[in-house]
Amino acid sequence: MSIFVDESTRVAVQGLTGSQGRFHGLRNRAYGTKIVAGVTPGKGGTDVEGVPVYDSVAEAIEAHGVDATFVAVPPRAAPDAILQAAEAGVPFIVCITEHIPAKDEAYVSARLRRDFPNTRLLGPNCPGIISPGKCNIGITSGDIALPGGPVGIVSRSGTLTYQALHELSQQGVGQTTCVGIGGDPVPGLTFVDVLEAFEADPETRAVMMIGEIGGEAEEMAAEYIKTKMTKPVVAYIAGQTAPPGRKMGHAGAIVSGSKGTAQAKMEALASAGVTVAKNPTEAGELMVEVVRSLG
Band of pLDDT at residue 192, cut at 50, 70 and 90: very high
Higher pLDDT, 258 or 238: 238
Identify the pLDDT of residue 239.
Answer: 82
Spatial contact of 206 and 15, defined as CB atoms under 8 Å apart: no
Q: Which residues in the chain are classed under CATH 3.40.50.720?
A: 10-122
Q: Is 64 a catalytic residue?
A: no
Question: Which pTM value belongs to this model?
Answer: 0.94
From the CB of residue 142, how many other CB atoms can be counted at a distance below 10 Å? 18
Identify the pLDDT of residue 258.
Answer: 52
pLDDT in tens, 139-185: 999 999 999 989 999 999 889 999 999 999 999 999 999 999 998 88
The rounded percent of the chain whose pLDDT value lies above 70 is 94
Band of pLDDT at residue 240, cut at 50, 70 and 90: confident
Please list, in sequence order, all residues whose beta carbon lies within 8 angstroms of the beta carbon of residue 55, skipping any fewer than 6 positions away.
39, 40, 41, 42, 43, 44
| Cα separation values, 109 from 4, 27, 76, 106, 286, Å | 19, 29, 16, 5, 35
Identify the pLDDT of residue 215.
Answer: 85
Residue ranges of E strands in the chain: 10-14, 34-39, 47-48, 51-54, 68-71, 92-95, 120-122, 128-131, 135-138, 150-155, 174-180, 206-212, 233-238, 275-277
Q: Does 248 score more than 80 pLDDT?
A: no
Of 45, 47, 145, the C-alpha closest to 13 is 47
Band of pLDDT at residue 254, cut at 50, 70 and 90: low
Q: Which of 64, 99, 166, 250 is catalytic?
A: 250
Identify the pLDDT of residue 243.
Answer: 66
CATH number of 141-294: 3.40.50.261
Q: Which residues in the chain are classed under CATH 3.40.50.261?
A: 141-294
Name the strands in the sheet holding 34-39, side by side, starting at the edge strand that comes first in the sequence.
47-48, 51-54, 34-39, 10-14, 68-71, 92-95, 120-122
pLDDT in tens, 14-57: 999 999 999 999 999 999 999 999 999 999 999 999 999 999 99
Identify the pLDDT of residue 261.
Answer: 86
CATH 2.40.50.140 fits 10-122, yes or no: no
* Amino acid identity at 11: V
The rounded distance, in Å, linking the Cα atoms of 137 and 74 is 17
State in Å, rounded, how far the first CA of the chain is from the last one: 18
Identify the pLDDT of residue 165.
Answer: 96
Identify the pLDDT of residue 214.
Answer: 85
Q: Which helix (H) or strand (E) is 239 found in, with range?
A: none
Q: Read off φ and ψ for residue 266, nearest 5 degrees.
A: -65, -40
Q: Does 194 score more than 90 pLDDT?
A: yes
Spatial contact of 134 and 2, defined as CB atoms under 8 Å apart: yes
